[in-house]
Structure 1
Amino acid sequence: MTTSGSPPHGPVNAAPPSTRLLTQAALREAVGHLDASLERMFGYHMGWWGERGDPCPEAAEGKALRPALAFLGADAAGVPTDTAEPGAVAVELIHNSTLIHDDMMDGDTVRRNRPAVWQVFGAGPAILLGDGLHACAVDTLLRRGGRHAPDAVRLLSGMLMRLARGQARDLALARRPWRGPKTVAIAEYRAMAADKTASLLGCAAAIGAQLGGASPTTLRTLVQAGEHLGLAFQFVDDLLGVWGPPRATGKESSSDLTRGQKTLPLLTAVGSGTDDGTRLAELLERGLPDRDAMTSAAELADRAGARAATERAARHHLALAQRAFASLGPPSEARDAFDELSTAVIGRTALAADPPRWPEDGAR
C-alpha cells in the first residue's frame, strides 16, 4: 500500500501473494482446455513466460484485483474459499479478455511494460484468444461452480452485457467534439465508466458469494461495493492516463492524451469555464503531435482544477465502497483486507496519503 507523497515505482500488486498463486493454478487449469497456441499466448500475456514459452522472470503479472474481490466477498458472506474459486477464475479470465481486445481497439502497443499480445502474435490470434477466454470463464463456472453455477453464469452474463454497452459508448464518446452542443457531459462519462469498468468489479465482488448461495441483499451490497471501487479505479486510471509515468501504468506514457481520449480529468478541465480549460480544448482539437504538446496539455488540465477534482471523485467512491462492504458486518480480517486492497488501488497515484472524506449525502 502506498501512503507516501509520490507515486509507486511500479504496478501495485493488489492481491495477497497466496491469493495470486491460488488463482494462477486454477487459471492454468482453465486455459488448458484451449488450443495449445492460445494457451501459450495467454501465458505470455499474464507474464508467466516469454513469447516462445521460455521463462521470463522479469515479466510483470497483473494485480489480481478481481480474484481478490471474489474471495473477500465470499469471506464477507461466510462462503469457503474453494467454493468461491471458480468465480475468481471466471472474472480474471473476463478481465484479461477485455484487456487483450481493448489494446487492439485503442491501438495500445504496450501492456505490462512489454509488447501487447496483438503486437507479438497478430490481431487475428489475439481476437481468438479474447473470445476463448470468455468461453473458458463460462466453462469454469459450469464445470466447477456447483449447484449455484447457473446463478453465477447469469450474474456474469448480465455484467458482460453492461461491459459491452459501456465499451460501445466509449467508442461513441471518442468521436464527439470537445466543445459545442455535442460535447460529452460528465454524467455521460460516468454512466459509461459504470458499465465499462465498474460492472466487472461489482460482479467480481459478488460472484464468490453467489456460488455459496448468499442472500440477495448480501449480493446487492457486494455489487454496490465493487462498483464504487470500480469507479474509483477508473478515475485513478484516468489520472494515470494524463499524468502517470509508464512504470506505474505498464503502458505508454500519456496514452489518453495521445489518443485524445474522453476521460474525467480532460472533460472536467475543458468544461471548467477557465482560460486554461479553453486553451486545453484548442490543443486537443488540433491534436498533440509531440511530447511538448502533451506536457502543455497536462499542465493546462492541472491548472484548470481537473486533477484535484478527479482525485476527489476517486476518494469519494473509495469511501462508499468501504462503507458498503463494512455494512455487511464481515469478519475483521476480511474488512481490513478489503480496506487495504481498495486503498492500494487508490495508492497508484498516492491519493491514499490523505484519508477519505465523506461527501455530503446529497452528492451521492
Structure 2
Amino acid sequence: MLSSSRHHYYKGFLQFNIESPTMLPTPQAACVSTMKSWSGQGTAPGGLTEGIADYVMIKSTYYDPEGYTKPGEGGRWDEGYGVTARFLEYCDSLRNGFTPKLNNKMRKVYKDEYFQELLGKPLSQVWSEYKAKYGNIPADSAGAGVKFIVTNNARNLPGGLRFDREIGIPYTLQTMSTINQFIWNLFEQHSYSERKNIPVLNVFISDFTGAAAYTNGDFNINVSAQVIQSYPPGPGKARFRFTSLMYHEMAHIFQWSGNRTAPGGLTEGIADYVMIKSSVYWWFSYTRPGEGSRWDEGYGVTERFLEYCDSLRKGFTVELNKKMRYAYSDGYFVELLGKPVRQLWADYKKKYGNIPVGEGYLLPDEISKTLLY
C-alpha cells in the first residue's frame, strides 16, 4: 500500500489541499482538491471555474505533465480544465498574478471586461494572440483541419428528400473541404495563427422560411430545405445553387468581423465577394457594377464596390479582412486607399452612372428562361 501525504499550496487567493499517493501524482488529484475561489455568484462561465481549479492543480505540481493539455490546445478560452488553465498561465505571463487578480474581481459578479481591465486588451484578442503564439492547435488534433458534419433534419420533407437525392451528404462534405481551402487561400491565411479557430463546422438541412440559409454561433450553418425544394429542376442545378450558397455561408464562418463591430452589410458583401471569386454563382442575375444606394448595403451592392476598391489597390479586400481581426474602423479605407469610404463610394457611383438597385443590365426574357429552366 502506498503511503499518502497532504500537500498544501498557497498562491494569493488560492489554498490547495490534496491527499495523493506520493509516488503517483496524477491529474485525478484535482478531484480530491479543495480551493477557495470566487465564481461571480454563479455568473462566471463554468469552463473558467474548471480552468481555475486545474490552474491550482498545475501550480501544486500534482499532475502528470506528459499527459496534460499542451499550451495552445483547445477551441475556446472557456472550454475548461486544461485548455483554460493553460490560457490562464499565458495571461499570467502578460501580467504577474493575473489569475488571482481575476478571481478577486469575481467575488460578486463576472464580466469579460475584467480581461480588458487587467491586461489592456479584449478577451477575444488575448485568446487570439495566445492561439497565434502556440500555432492555433485544436484540442486533441495538434493542428489538424476542420471537422465537417452534415445533418439532414428534413429527411421526410420534399426539400430534405431532394437534398438526399440531388446533392447528398458525401458531396456536401467534399464541397465543404474544397471551400474551406479556397477561403484560406483567398484570405491569405496560410498558417494556423492567421485563421479563426474552427475545430468543427456543422451544416444542418432544416425546415424554415425567411432565408435561404443563416449561421448561428461560430460553428453552425443552417440551410432551408424549402429553398432547396424551390431550386429550378434539371441535372446539376440543385448542386450548383447549393454550392454557391455554401461559398457565401462558409465565408461568414471564416471571415473576420472586427469582433462583430463591422457593418453587417460589409460582412455580407465580403461573403458574396468569396462567392464571386469562386465563379460559382448566377452571373446573369447578379448585381451589376454601380447598382445600389449605400456602400454597406450588403450582398451584391457591397461586393461590386469591393471589386472596385480592388481595382484601386490589388488585394484590398483581403487586406481589409485582415485588419478586421479585432476591430473595425471606416478609417481602414483611408489607410489602404488614401480616401474616406464616402468619397470612394461617390467616385464608384460616378464611374458607373449611379445605377439604382434593380436597374442594371437586363437579359431578354427568352435568354433568362433558357438559363433558368
TM-score strictly above 0.5: no
Question: Which of 1 and 2 has greater Rg?
Answer: 2
Name the one with the larger helix percent. Answer: 1
Larger RCO (CA within 8 A; separation ≥ 6): 1
Give the TM-score range, shorter chain. Answer: under 0.3
Q: Which has the higher strand share?
A: 2
Scaled by the length of structure 1, what TM-score is found? Answer: 0.26
TM norm structure 2: 0.25
